[in-house]
Amino acid sequence: MSNNHPPPGQPPEDDPFFKKPQEPTPPSAGGPQEPRPPGGPPPPGGPYGPPPGGSGPYDGGGGQPPPGGPNAYGGAYGGADPLSGMPPLADFGRRFLARVIDVLIVFVPLFLISLAFGGWDVGTDDGDSWDDFTNQVNTGRQWIWSLVSLVAYVGYDTVMTAKGHGQTVGKRLMKIRVAMLNDGSVPDVSSSLMRAIVLWVPALVCCFCLWWLIIIATILADKPYKQGLHDKAGKTVVVSAPQ
C-alpha cells in the first residue's frame, strides 16, 4: 500500500471523487435559437402576427376574427404584405369609394327627412336667394339639423366599425376594414368613437371641404401605415379584407 499522495491542489485525473459528470444542456423551448445581433431586425410576427400561446386576436384567444375566418389572408396573413405580419394595406382608391358610399348612405335619408320638414327654401320672388339661404343657416332649425347630421354620421361610423367587424357598408363593399394597429383586432367602441369624432366633427361644424382635403393629404403622405388624422386618433389602420 503506497503512502504517496498527490500534491495539494492537483487531484489526479483518475480520482473518482474529484470527477464531476457532464450534465446535458437542456434544449430551449421551440428548438435552438440563434442570438439576434444588436440593431438587427426584430423577430418575425409583426403587429399582426399571432403571439405565442395562441392568444392572438385571430386565433381563438378571445378577439374578433377577421371577416372570412382566421386564414382570410393566407398563412400568417401572408402574401405580399407591406409590413411584417400585417395584411395588405387598403389602397386609397378603395378607401375613397367606401367613404363616398357611406356618406350617401347617411345623407340620402337625412335629406328626405328634411324635405318632410320643409327642406331648404332657396327660391324667392325677389331674387335675393342668397340672403334667404344665410338667414336659414342662422336659424335654430338649421342648427338642429346640423346636430342631427353630426350625431347620424358619428353614430353610423362608430357603431358600424365597432360592431361590424371593422367594416361600414362601404368598406364591406370595397373589401377593406378598420383594425387596431397594434394587434389587428376590431376597434372597440372608444377607439371607433374617437376615430369618428376626428373625422366628422370638424367637417360638419366648420370646414367641410378643407377638412376632407386635410384627411386625404395625411392618408397619402403618411408612411408606412397610410393613416389619416382620424386613424392616428383611434390608433387604427385600414387593411384589405378579402371575402
Q: Are 145 and 106 in contact (CB under 8 A)?
A: no
| Residue 54: partners with Cβ closer than 8 Å, 6 or more residues away | 60, 61
Q: Are 146 and 153 in contact (CB under 8 A)?
A: no
DSSP class per residue in 133-160: HHHHHTSHHHHHHHHHHHHHHHHHHHHH
Give residue 116's pLDDT.
80
| 36-86 pLDDT, tens digit each | 555 454 445 455 554 444 444 433 334 444 444 444 443 344 444 456 778
Give residue 50's pLDDT.
47
Q: Residue 156 pairs with which residues in a beta bridge?
A: none
Calculate the average pLDDT of the chain.
74
Give residue 167's pLDDT.
96
Give residue 140's pLDDT.
64
Whole-number Å distance between alpha carbons of 99 and 75: 30
| Residue 136: partners with Cβ closer than 8 Å, 6 or more residues away | 120, 121, 142
| 140-152 pLDDT, tens digit each | 667 888 899 999 9
Give me the residue label for grid cell 464531476. 20
Residue 213 region by backbone torsions, left for phi larger than 0, else alpha for psi between -120 and 50, else beta: alpha
Q: Are 177 and 207 in contact (CB under 8 A)?
A: no
Give residue 85's pLDDT.
78
- The list of the chain residues with pLDDT below 70 reads 1-83, 118-141, 243
